[in-house]
Chains A and B, each alone.
Chain A
Amino acid sequence: MNVTPPPSLDVRGLAYAYPDGHQALFGVDLTVGRGERVALLGPNGAGKTTLVLHLNGILAGGVGSVSVAGLPVGRENLAEIRRRVGIVFQDPDDQLFMPSVREDVAFGPASAGMRGPELEAQVMAALDRVGMAGFADRPPHHLSFGQRRRVAVATVLAMEPEILVLDEPSSNLDPASRRELADILRALDVTVLMVTHDLPYALELCPRSVILSDGVVVADGSTQELLGDDDLMRAHRLELPFGFDPRSVTIGA
């Protein structure tokens, strides 16, 4: 057993066209090692969401392959794949569909067959990791947006995923909630793939970035270097906030 573990995520030559004929992916290659935190950057319409929906087999039927921790994404092991890939969607209201926080966090593990005290422990542990343990019996509608986003992360953590995929985690958050979420994500011991337009957030959290543009990966490297490459950034409609210089930021503080 001294073989290196397979990467958390391995995407090879992935191409996909929607049923209406619109082709969104043109051969994506992406490998994310275990424990890495990677930002997936790219302009609107680059195919980021399409890629994400391939990671747990919601979209399928194109060319290429996706495997999660060595397990190929396919119909026969879909249940296991969906447990391993935790996707946090952009609007927490979409993600929190159950009447109370506790039931919502329990939904994933319970769907996988977990019951009783084991389930309860799992739920509370997940809520604890995002600092929401005191809100278990509240209806999601009564929480603030930032709290809802954190619960949404917990719903996925409760499934003990191999890889956490976050779609625009910082959108609509006030600065304090944004920082709280960053702290939570940094403290997690899972592989993270973060789709975002928030470049400073990517720089803060992810040592490595991948730029997806027109359905292919056009750049893959250290976040600081990519964000510092003005030509690359301009070519793919990525803009840093006014006055923000990625080269001046010290990473790893």
Chain B
Amino acid sequence: MGAGHAHKLYRHGHSPVHRLPAHCKLLAVLGFVLVVVSTPREAVWAFGLYAVLLGTVAAVARIPAGFLLKRLLIEIPFVAFALLMPFVVPGEQTEVLGISLSVPGLWGAWNILAKGTLGVAASVILASTTELRSLLLGLQRLRLPSLLVQIASFMIRYGDVIADEMRRMSIARRSRGFEARGVRHWGVLAKSAGALFIRSYERGERVHLAMVSRGYTGTMPVLHDVRATRAQWSYAAALPVTALAVCLLGWTL
């Protein structure tokens, strides 16, 4: 997690995708993923089209393929799960290269791989083209409860501060010759975690004082109310609507 406006995934840029208001992009991605998830897995070609759609968006946003592919690694645990399915799922068996595989298992594996990958790719594109603050504002614009958005903002704002404190504690431990090597050292680490909690909580109390001192009454003033133009909405809608068309074809064909 980076600080304030930048985070791990965000890639600075000025592409049309970068310029879209965050709430449009959030809705577009959500709509796209919903459509993908609802597509029958037998329509293999549909998933190919989805991938092409996402590839187009990534190209417009100038996200390098390598970056996108590397971020897809996050779903590896589920790839492993998917790869097991053909072996464990009961049902009709088929022979591939002399190995007996379950047909429903193969479909299941394909289903998870295709939908999961498309979902992660869509999220990665969203996160790499949208600044953290805009994302938070977008969530607010989408009528997420304001308190929830505030909590998220504070988490983002102080995530680094707390991670820094954790790093300093670790340096302090190591400079006194402590190196955590095994279960025996968990007590020391847990003490650090406990101290970290106390510091975080107390900081929360101080932040609250600072807020109240400046007139906080439970709501955050909305300063940058980004409104999307109709053109921006239709631009953002291009992805999910095209996907929906593909999906409907998938159901009918």
A and B, direct touch (CB closer than 8 Å)? yes
**Residues of chain A at the chain B interface (Cβ within 8 Å):** 53, 56, 58, 79, 82-83, 85-87, 89, 91, 93-95, 97-100, 103, 106-108, 110-112, 119, 138-142, 155-156, 159
User: Is the CB–CB distance between A110 and B161 below 8 Å?
Assistant: no
Looking at the assembled complex, report how far the CB atom of A92 sits from the nearest CB atom of chain B, in whole angstroms. 10
Interface of A: prevailing SS? helix
Q: Which of A87, A99, A110, A156 touches B4 (beta carbons < 8 Å)?
A: A99
Looking at the assembled complex, report how far the CB atom of A210 sits from the nearest CB atom of chain B, in whole angstroms. 21
Contacts of A156 in B (CB 8 A): 214
Does any Cβ of A come within 8 Å of B216's Cβ? yes
Contacts of A56 in B (CB 8 A): 213
User: Is the CB–CB distance between A142 and B4 below 8 Å?
Assistant: yes
User: Is the CB–CB distance between B212 and A58 below 8 Å?
Assistant: yes
Contacts of A79 in B (CB 8 A): 215, 217
What does the 1/0 interface line of B202-238 toward A look like (CB < 8 Å)?
0100110111111111001101000000000000000
Looking at the assembled complex, report how far the CB atom of B180 sits from the nearest CB atom of chain A, in whole angstroms. 28
Looking at the assembled complex, report how far the CB atom of B19 sits from the nearest CB atom of chain A, in whole angstroms. 17
A sample of 30 inter-chain contacts (CB < 8 A) reads: A56-B213, A58-B209, A58-B212, A82-B213, A82-B215, A83-B215, A86-B213, A93-B203, A94-B206, A94-B207, A94-B209, A97-B157, A97-B158, A97-B210, A99-B5, A99-B132, A99-B157, A108-B215, A110-B221, A111-B214, A111-B215, A111-B217, A112-B215, A138-B4, A139-B5, A140-B157, A141-B157, A141-B160, A142-B3, A142-B4
Q: How far is the CA of A142 from the CA of B161 in the complex (A)?
A: 11
Nearest-CB residue, chain B, relative to A98: B157
Contacts of B223 in A (CB 8 A): 103, 106, 110, 119
Looking at the assembled complex, report how far the CB atom of A203 sits from the nearest CB atom of chain B, in whole angstroms. 27
User: Is the CB–CB distance between A159 and B214 below 8 Å?
Assistant: yes
Looking at the assembled complex, report how far the CB atom of A30 sits from the nearest CB atom of chain B, in whole angstroms. 19
Q: How far is the CA of A153 from the CA of B104 in the complex (A)?
A: 66
Q: How far is the CA of A103 from the CA of B132 in the complex (A)?
A: 14
Looking at the assembled complex, report how far the CB atom of B174 sits from the nearest CB atom of chain A, in whole angstroms. 24
Looking at the assembled complex, report how far the CB atom of A24 sits from the nearest CB atom of chain B, in whole angstroms. 16
Q: How far is the CA of A111 from the CA of B210 in the complex (A)?
A: 13
User: Is the CB–CB distance between A141 and B4 below 8 Å?
Assistant: yes
Q: Which 7 A-B pairs have the closest CB atoms?
A: A139-B4, A110-B221, A111-B215, A108-B214, A141-B3, A94-B206, A95-B210
Interface size class of B (residues with CB under 8 A): 20 to 34
Within 8 A of A (CB), among B1-52: 3-5
**Residues of chain B at the chain A interface (Cβ within 8 Å):** 3-5, 132-133, 136, 153-154, 156-158, 160-161, 203, 206-207, 209-217, 220-221, 223
Q: How far is the CA of A223 from the CA of B158 in the complex (A)?
A: 39
Q: How far is the CA of A142 from the CA of B206 in the complex (A)?
A: 21
Q: How far is the CA of A56 from the CA of B156 in the complex (A)?
A: 29
User: Is the CB–CB distance between B206 and A140 below 8 Å?
Assistant: no
User: Is the CB–CB distance between B213 and A94 below 8 Å?
Assistant: no
User: Is the CB–CB distance between B5 and A100 below 8 Å?
Assistant: yes
Given contacts A93-B161, A110-B223, A111-B221, contact A100 B4 (CB under 8 A): yes
Contacts of B157 in A (CB 8 A): 97-99, 140-141
User: Is the CB–CB distance between A91 and B206 below 8 Å?
Assistant: yes
Given contacts A94-B206, A141-B4, contact A100 B214 (CB under 8 A): no
Nearest-CB residue, chain B, relative to A56: B213
Known: A87-B210, A107-B216, A159-B215. 7 other contacts (CB 8 A): A89-B206, A97-B154, A106-B223, A107-B221, A110-B223, A140-B4, A141-B161
Contacts of B156 in A (CB 8 A): 99
Looking at the assembled complex, report how far the CB atom of A144 sits from the nearest CB atom of chain B, in whole angstroms. 13
User: Is the CB–CB distance between A58 and B213 below 8 Å?
Assistant: yes
User: Is the CB–CB distance between A111 and B4 below 8 Å?
Assistant: no
Contacts of A91 in B (CB 8 A): 206
Contacts of A82 in B (CB 8 A): 212-215
Contacts of B132 in A (CB 8 A): 99
